[in-house]
Amino acid sequence: MIFLMDLQMMLLDVIYFILRNSVRAVLRPRIKSIEGELVLITGSGGGLGRLFAREFSKRGAEVVLWDVDATANERTARLVREAGGKAYAYTVDVSQREDVYRVADSVRKDLGRHVTVLVNNAGVVAGRRLLECPDDLIETTLKVNCHALFWTVKAFLPQMKTQNHGHIVTIASVLGLFSTACVEDYCASKFAAVGFHESLAHELLAEGADGVKTTLVCPYIVNTGMFEGCRIREEVEMVLPPLEPEYCVDQAMNAILIDQPLVCIPRLTYLPFLSRALLPWESNVVTYRFMGSDKCMYPFMDAKKKHTPNGLKSVSEAVPSQQSR
């Protein structure tokens, strides 16, 4: 009897949340204030990270900037300050656990307060076919895109849970929901990031920490130069062009400010995510071929080869700034 009652309540809740989110898709929900929040952004030296810093600051938040490139990171801080915001720049290699914990302690001591919003934005890609990719580049991709999530969350989540207040944002990728050829390191790391984020969200809800919100952001290719040269079929690209960074951050900020758990940018990319789950493998393969997605990374990899001897870069050359997308 208890089981049947619980089943009935579960089905009613499912229907309620479907209806609620359908209404929210039409009528914009209330936007929360982030004025006075302390927002930490990884990979803030450029790309999306720099834009996130400016957007959060514009809304009254103070930003803590983490990047491995000190010069680029300080430029982001300067841009925020020139616009009237407060920014604190720290040089951090998020792939190094000890570095993350050490600088996290420094942030708490220097600022005398706790980080309330964590934006895990840092990301890299090797851009090599699997058998041509040095092991150290593969390890770097996994450390920056995946392992770093564990270290940063472990560093800042305890205070959020104590206060039952905070927000954890993971900038993943649509390539964490469905894959393509020749970016095994990136896809593996982003699939891991999605799994990490979703498991963390379930853990927070199971433990009653409902004041700590989570948002998973999965953008399509963004024009930041990270995947420069990547091309799908021309006719399809007219409908699904690479995203402008400003548009991507604007959509991500909208999701964060309404506590939206997941956002794919653009919405059209929900379709291949659903088709991957619902259609046979072969159906997805022929769809990829039609769209040109199966070989879309070839021009990207060829372009990287032209700029480096033997098609390889050292880790330091491949990762000048740990910036997502």
Catalytic residues: 186
- The Cα-based distances of 215 to 79, 164, 287 in angstroms read 26, 16, 29
How many CA atoms lie less than 13 Å away from 22 in the CB half-sphere? Answer: 6
For residue 94, the Cα-to-chain-centroid distance in whole angstroms is: 14
d(CA 72, CA 257): 27
Two structure tokens written together for 63: 């930003």
Token pair 């079929």: residue: 233
Query: Please, where are the H alpha helices in the chain?
Result: 2-26, 47-58, 70-82, 97-111, 135-142, 148-163, 184-206, 234-237, 245-257, 270-278, 281-291, 298-306, 315-318
Two structure tokens written together for 229: 């040269």
d(CA 129, CA 243): 25
Helices 281-291 and 270-278: crossing angle, nearest 10°? 150
d(CA 125, CA 325): 9
d(CA 323, CA 69): 10
Question: In 10 A of CB 9, how many CB atoms?
Answer: 10
Q: What angle do CA 241, 246, 250 make, to 5 degrees?
A: 105
* Residue 182, SS3 per DSSP: coil
Q: Which residues does 57 contact at the CB level (< 8 Å), separation at least 6? A: 63, 80, 83, 85, 86, 87
